[in-house]
Amino acid sequence: MAAGEEVRIAGLTLRSGVLGGKAATALVVGQCTGTVVLADLFAGGSAVTATPALVRVTGSQQVNFDACNFGLLVSGTQAPTEWMIVEDSNVDLNACVLKGAAAPALFSPSPLFDGASALAAMGSVVRISLSLSLSDLTGGAGMGSSPFFSPGAITSGGAAVDATTSIVFARGGAGNQLKGGLGGFAVVGGLPTYGPGGPAVALGPDSLLSTTGD
């Protein structure tokens, strides 16, 4: 799509295909120099998958998500994946729900994975509007090993937003949230034990976070 052009897609339910236990990416926006507007979309999936993200935006000038609901991906025995990955792009999220994948339940002490972030941004600018109506970006929950194995092990929850070399603008509002995932749970030494929760925003190298009220 060329600069100055605009495409709008609204009111769709997106389902990823599953082949050999791996879920394909449900939505890809790539190398668009115009504006892409995506409204009232629902994307959900459940599979044993190592496919990075079910929504991916790469190399695009401006992509707007409005009132989209991207639900939880259950990740079987594989490492959970971020729900949305944004690379080298400008993305606006308004009144959207994104929930990162929870770590899988395993019946052995290892391997254990942390919960996934709801959104991972690399080399991008992400604007999150949390004021017009309910928005909810929540990291995936961590996990603990089975109580039948010793020693117990517990993992951390994922971040709502994980930013590397990126700028994140978050505009707040009552009833809206950026929330890290819950820590995992396991019985360690006969005692119930919880892992650390994830951060609302995890800032990597050369990243900035700007927050404003309603």
**Digit-coded pLDDT (tens) for 176-207:** 688 999 998 887 777 888 889 999 999 998 99
Supply the range of the domain harboring residue 169: 6-212
Tell me the backbone φ, ψ of residue 136, rounded to 5 degrees.
-150, 110
Q: State residue 48's pLDDT score.
A: 46
User: Is residue 104 in some structural domain?
Assistant: yes
DSSP 32-49: --SEEEEES-EEEEE-S-
User: Is residue 17 in some structural domain?
Assistant: yes
- Tens of pLDDT, residues 27-80: 899 999 999 999 999 887 654 454 567 789 999 999 999 999 887 555 556 677
The number of domains in the chain is 1
Considering only residues 147 and 2, tell me which one the structure prediction assigns the higher pLDDT: 2
| pLDDT surpasses 60 at 149 | no
| Tokens matching residue 59 | 């190399």
| Tokens matching residue 99 | 């929930």
CB crowding 144-158: b at 16 or more within 10 Å, else e: bbeeeeeebbbbbbb
User: Is residue 46 in some structural domain?
Assistant: yes
User: Is residue 144 in some structural domain?
Assistant: yes
- What pTM was estimated for this model as a whole? 0.87
User: Is residue 1 in some structural domain?
Assistant: no
- Tens of pLDDT, residues 94-121: 989 888 888 877 655 556 788 889 999 9
Q: State residue 77's pLDDT score.
A: 62
Q: Exposed (0-12), middle (13-18) or buried (19+): which is 118, by Cβ within 10 Å?
A: buried
Work out the average pLDDT over 154-172: 92
Looking at this protein, which amino acid is placed at residue 33?
T
DSSP-derived letter for residue 88 is S
* Of the listed ranges 10-24, 96-110, 120-134, 171-185, the one predicted with least confidence: 10-24
